[in-house]
């Protein structure tokens, strides 16, 4: 039977449709002479009855048409009259836009995307895999949102009125009908019921599994695809003469994936294993397979995760064995090791391009400044970066790289695709928003934040430094949110306070340079020149003191130093000397040497400096330098490197060599960026939020830190932009009036914490064990917060997720706007649990009140102690009457559906959170049979995939840690080697 034969009235309609109507923008054509087909030996056929959609004004004038389809022979739809069976004469329809395929073995019709540029949509959802067609489906060849303004009501496509499957009588085959033209067919016909069809498909699958030689293996292999999976073997049987060469590369190895549009200023939830691939609703979901699809087009893949099952990932996502994959994950031994050789491994020989990276933790956050004692820190982000030739996809989720958290535990997922640029933009790696910067024209810092975070993970793995260069090839200017990163360490706030002074000094220099950033380093070997043996009469010390005193007077307490390259020093070809100039005789070159840059800093400074990519200058604190020179302490003298563009900055992409790539990665990792709470303040502090209109301020997480107190809650609120209301009039005379403080937090709690009760966890589908290792809440913390009355139950949303564990970390602060305007506020999602380990613990030094208020908000401290690597995204909806995007991803704050019920039910008098102790007690109450059942669940489903972020005893130990950093013995030895080979009297 001819694949394009029609009913009796089709030819008449056909001739009319070939003539374009006057004033009509579009037309549909059925070619009068379709390509010849081979004889249908099977006798099977399908009759498809459809109604064309040309426009809302003309659709009624187009009567239905019937099309006969042969098995496994594509029916081509597009713009080409030569190659297509059904032609839509419109420039936005591709030559071979899509195909309809009749699968005779399953008695189903499938729609496949061909070479379309604008996509194929079934019932409003863009397809990415073979999509089964049913009666009543609406197929559009271009999304309605993409129509031109002058023809905004036009729709190009068709509606499936009916489907008839027919067969020769003598073959006695089941025939399915859903035809509406009432034309009798002289063959056996049975009415089609979609539910019965799906049931028959499931029964066939079950029989195949039971009859296979290895049912378990067959079942595991089928588990990758859900019930909507197409029989790929039948699709691959297409012959080469079917005028559809696209099938060879499109249909084979196609995963069970739908095209899912990016969420924009919103996030999705992961698709749990019991969910089917249904059209998107107001609760959109996405799977890991859909996020990576198509895997074949990936050129590189970067993943950051806490726990991981790499073999599962490689198999489940069908990762090609030669694809370059970088996975940064946590390892207690390797991450705390001081040896750079421990930072990476290639664990699987069959995947030679897969490198596992173990990011380092600074010894400053280890107990007792000894990495062997370690700390409570962990590498906790969940990031995926998918590089393709024309775009790069950034995915931020709360799910670790393990099967359970993607398939059985609720997690959040955000992603965005960024286009490739015409030429690399290295300046994007240095874009910043500093404290107090309200310049709305400033360049977005998404690229700089992403590069800085990734570089901090890769700085000890030179083979992976190329990732930072790759980021410069894409345009991140259209990012829908702001990245919020946490990097472990003791972060000082004195650096931003020096920016204005240093920019003033730079402006007075003879040459004009563009400031790029600041790096915290130190001076080593400073005491060498001022020891008693080398300076018996104290002349050098007196000279240094005079220089320092004059520098303080002229540079507002900041001492500018000079950096000199020492290229011919045997001890280190990258050596850099640090000099103090005479403020009065600077032009004459009068200066004296303090010491050197540390070896690990000079290692990357010198290559970038020598080739002219960057300029480096520096500043030290005169008091610290003088104290070290006098030998009063053995502490490091902090040196702030000022990084600016060099004469060949614009030629980086042309002149870059492999050694420069490694050095650039180290520079990007070292450039000072706000982290944790300070980053939150940097982003949200640009807006003045209407405090009186606040409707809620909530934080839901799977872990509540043991440092949770009024001090931390106040710090988080202050970083979020919260300020005091006029109700605190008695405190107006306080210098900190207006800043949210711990005392105000105690009087009026600001945040509501959302965490599941023990009863909710006990009543879950699989009981307590699935939640036991992904929930963390200490009993002592609960007792401390109990009287604060800020705990609310975490009820999963939507309803079909009730009974399943949640691993989300989502916060929202909302302000109800006046006059029916959209709500303002912000929403965060990512990897940060509600803990000081993740966000940082503010440290306020003792001293004068002026010093304590240096930040303008003492709740955030002068230093910030961060333990974890974390990464999240925050969406901002400013408090203005007209705001938001104007594109297709335009989102209102209230459009973001949170993963838990809001307002969350408040804890009752008898309610208790699912603390570790509560869950242990509940497990002890189970019968022996119940415990064995749950033990079996753990063994088969591998539920244990998360560890505790914090331990209560360790949190107490942090308070005794000293934050002063002493000069190491190896640094002293390095400096002594240089001093012995460098002439200290050399001219600067």
How far, in Å, CA of 231 to CA of 252, rounded? 11
Backbone angles phi and psi of 215, in degrees to 5: -60, -40
Segment (H or E) for 874: strand 870-877
Q: Which of the residues 380, 466, 491, 792 is marked catalytic?
A: 380
Pairing of strands 176-177, 190-191: parallel
The pairing of beta strand 391-397 with beta strand 27-29? unpaired
Q: Compute the C-alpha angle 933/935/937, nearest 5°.
A: 75
First vs last C-alpha separation in the chain: 92
Q: Is 648 a catalytic residue?
A: no
DSSP state of 524: B
Pairwise CA distance, residues 381 & 389, whole Å:
26
Pairwise CA distance, residues 505 & 892, whole Å:
45
How far apart, in whole angstroms, are the C-alpha atoms of residue 233 and residue 124?
A: 28
Scored b (16 or more CB within 10 A) or e, 458-477 reads bbbbbebbbbbbbbbbbbbe
Residue of 919, 538, 640 lying closest to 764 (CA atoms):
919
Q: Left, alpha or beta for 538 (phi > 0: left; psi -120 to 50: alpha)?
A: left
- Assess whether the previous peptide bond of 221 is cis (omega < 30° from 0): no
Q: What is the Cα 548 distance to its own chain's centre?
A: 47
Interatomic CA distance for residues 864 and 492, integer angstroms: 7
807 is catalytic: yes
Quick one: 99 exposed, middle or buried, by C-beta within 10 A (0-12, 13-18, 19+)?
Answer: buried
Q: How far apart are CA 224 and CA 469, in angstroms?
A: 35
Q: Exposed, middle or buried, 745 (CB in 10 Å: 0-12/13-18/19+)?
A: buried
Rounded-to-integer distance, Cα 61 and Cα 515, Å = 66
| DSSP tag of 862 | S
SS3 912: coil
Phi-psi region of 293 (alpha: psi -120 to 50; beta: other; left: phi over 0): beta
How many other β-carbons are positioned within 10 Å of the β-carbon of residue 848? Answer: 8
CA distance linking residue 196 with residue 201, whole number of Å: 9
What DSSP string describes 173-185? ---EE--SS----
Provide the greatest CA pair distance for the chain: 119
Any idea which residue has 């071979």 for tokens? Answer: 96
Distance (Å, whole) CA 472 – CA 911: 52
- 3-state DSSP assignment of residue 507: helix
Rg (CA), the chain: 33
Give the strand pairing for 285-286 and 268-270. parallel
Given phi > 0 = left and psi -120 to 50 = alpha, else beta, which region is 368?
left
**Contact call for residues 777 and 916 (beta carbons, < 8 A):** yes
Task: Locate 191 and state its tokens.
Answer: 């009415």
* 809 appears as a binding residue in the annotation: yes
> What is the number of other CB atoms lying within 10 angstroms of the CB of residue 870?
31
Token pair, residue 865, equals: 């102690």
Element (H, E) at 676: helix 676-684
Query: Left if phi > 0, otherwise alpha if psi is -120 to 50, otherwise beta: which for 847?
Result: left
**Residue in 330, 379, 792, 807 annotated catalytic:** 807
CB hemisphere CA count around 595 (13 angstroms):
30
Q: Which residues are annotated as a binding site?
A: 382, 809
By annotation, the residues acting in catalysis are 380, 807
Q: Which residues carry a binding-site annotation for substrate?
A: 382, 809
């Amino acid at each position: 039977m001819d694949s394009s034969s029609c009913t009796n009235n089709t030819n008449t309609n056909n001739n009319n449709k070939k003539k374009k109507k006057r004033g009509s923008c579009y037309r549909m054509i059925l070619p009068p002479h379709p390509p010849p087909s081979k004889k249908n030996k099977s006798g099977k056929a399908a009759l498809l009855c459809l109604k064309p959609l040309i426009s809302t004004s003309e659709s009624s004038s187009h009567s239905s048409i019937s099309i006969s389809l042969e098995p496994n022979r594509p029916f081509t739809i597009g713009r080409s009259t030569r190659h297509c069976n059904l032609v839509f004469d419109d420039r936005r329809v591709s030559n071979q836009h899509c195909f309809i395929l009749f699968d005779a073995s399953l008695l189903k019709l499938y729609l496949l995307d061909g070479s379309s540029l604008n996509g194929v949509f079934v019932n409003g959802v863009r397809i990415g895999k073979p999509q089964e067609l049913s009666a009543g489906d609406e197929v559009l060849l271009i999304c309605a949102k993409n129509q031109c303004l002058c023809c905004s009501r036009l729709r190009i496509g068709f509606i499936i009125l009916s489907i008839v499957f027919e067969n020769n009588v003598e073959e006695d085959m089941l025939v399915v009908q859903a035809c509406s033209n009432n034309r009798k067919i002289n063959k056996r016909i049975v009415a089609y019921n979609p539910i019965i069809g799906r049931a028959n498909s499931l029964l066939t699958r079950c029989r195949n599994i039971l009859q296979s030689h290895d049912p378990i293996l067959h079942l595991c292999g089928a588990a990758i695809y859900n019930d909507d999976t197409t029989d790929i073997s039948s699709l691959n049987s297409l012959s080469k003469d079917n005028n559809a060469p696209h099938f060879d590369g499109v249909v084979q190895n196609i995963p069970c994936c739908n095209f899912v549009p990016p969420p924009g200023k919103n996030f999705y939830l992961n698709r749990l294993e019991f969910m089917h691939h249904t059209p998107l609703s107001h609760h959109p979901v996405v799977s890991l397979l859909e996020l990576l699809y198509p895997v074949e087009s990936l050129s590189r893949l970067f993943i950051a995760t806490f726990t991981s099952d790499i073999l599962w990932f490689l198999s489940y996502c069908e990762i090609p064995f030669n694809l370059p994959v970088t996975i940064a994950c946590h390892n207690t031994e390797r991450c705390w090791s001081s040896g750079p050789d421990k930072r990476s491994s290639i664990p699987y020989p069959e995947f030679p391009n897969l490198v596992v990276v173990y990011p380092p933790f600074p010894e400053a956050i280890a107990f007792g400044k000894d990495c062997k004692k370690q700390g409570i820190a962990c590498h906790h982000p969940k990031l995926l970066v998918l590089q393709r030739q024309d775009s790069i996809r950034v995915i931020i989720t709360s799910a670790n790289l393990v099967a359970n958290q993607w398939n059985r535990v609720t997690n959040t997922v955000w992603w965005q695709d960024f286009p490739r640029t015409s030429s690399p933009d290295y300046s994007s790696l240095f874009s910043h928003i500093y404290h107090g910067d309200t310049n709305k024209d400033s360049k977005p810092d998404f690229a700089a934040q992403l590069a800085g975070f990734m570089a901090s993970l890769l700085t000890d793995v030179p083979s992976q430094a190329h990732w930072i260069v790759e980021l410069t090839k894409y345009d991140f200017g259209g990012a829908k949110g702001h990245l919020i990163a946490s990097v472990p360490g003791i972060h000082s706030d004195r650096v931003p306070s020096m920016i204005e002074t240093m920019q003033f000094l730079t402006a007075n220099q003879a040459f004009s340079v563009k400031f790029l950033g600041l790096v915290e380093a130190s001076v080593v070997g400073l005491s060498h020149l001022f020891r008693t043996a080398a300076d018996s009469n104290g002349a050098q010390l007196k000279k240094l003191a005079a220089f320092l005193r004059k520098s303080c007077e002229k540079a507002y307490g900041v001492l500018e130093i000079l950096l000199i390259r020492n290229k011919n020093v045997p001890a280190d070809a990258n050596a850099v000397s640090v000099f103090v100039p005479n403020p009065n005789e600077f032009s004459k070159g009068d200066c004296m040497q303090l010491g050197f840059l540390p070896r690990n800093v000079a290692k990357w400074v010198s290559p970038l400096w020598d080739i002219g990519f960057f300029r480096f200058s520096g500043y030290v604190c005169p008091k610290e330098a003088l104290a070290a020179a006098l030998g009063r302490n053995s502490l490091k003298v902090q040196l702030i490197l000022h990084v600016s563009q060099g004469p060949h900055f614009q030629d980086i992409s042309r002149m870059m060599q492999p050694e420069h790539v490694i050095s650039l990665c180290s520079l990007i990792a070292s450039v000072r960026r706000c982290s944790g709470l300070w980053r939150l303040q940097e982003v949200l502090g640009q807006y003045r939020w209407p405090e009186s209109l606040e409707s809620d301020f909530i934080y839901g997480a799977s872990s509540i830190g043991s440092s949770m107190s009024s001090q931390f809650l106040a710090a988080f609120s202050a970083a979020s932009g919260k300020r005091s209301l006029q109700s605190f009039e008695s405190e107006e005379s306080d210098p900190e009036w207006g800043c949210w403080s711990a005392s105000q937090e105690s009087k009026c709690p600001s945040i509501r914490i959302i965490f599941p009760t023990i009863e909710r966890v006990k009543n879950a589908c699989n009981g307590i064990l699935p939640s036991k290792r992904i929930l963390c809440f200490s009993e002592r913390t609960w007792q401390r917060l109990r009287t604060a009355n800020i705990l609310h139950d975490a009820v999963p949303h939507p309803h079909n997720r009730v009974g399943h564990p949640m691993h989300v970390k989502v916060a929202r602060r909302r302000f109800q706007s006046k006059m029916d305007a959209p709500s303002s506020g912000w929403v965060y999602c990512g990897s940060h649990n509600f803990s000081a380990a993740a966000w940082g613990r503010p440290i306020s030094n003792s001293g004068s009140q002026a010093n304590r208020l240096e930040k303008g908000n003492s709740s955030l401290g002068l230093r910030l102690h961060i333990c974890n690597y974390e990464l999240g995204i925050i969406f901002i909806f400013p408090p203005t009457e007209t705001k938001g995007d104007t594109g297709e991803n335009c989102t209102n704050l209230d459009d973001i559906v949170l993963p838990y019920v809001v307002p969350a039910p408040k804890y009752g008098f008898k309610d208790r959170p699912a603390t570790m102790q509560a869950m242990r007690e509940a497990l002890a109450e189970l019968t022996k049979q119940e415990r064995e059942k749950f033990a079996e669940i753990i063994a088969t489903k591998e539920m244990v995939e998360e560890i505790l972020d914090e331990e209560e005893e360790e949190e107490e130990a942090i308070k005794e840690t000293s934050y002063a950093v002493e000069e190491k013995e190896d640094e002293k030895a390095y400096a002594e080697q240089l001093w012995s080979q460098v002439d200290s009297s050399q001219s600067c």
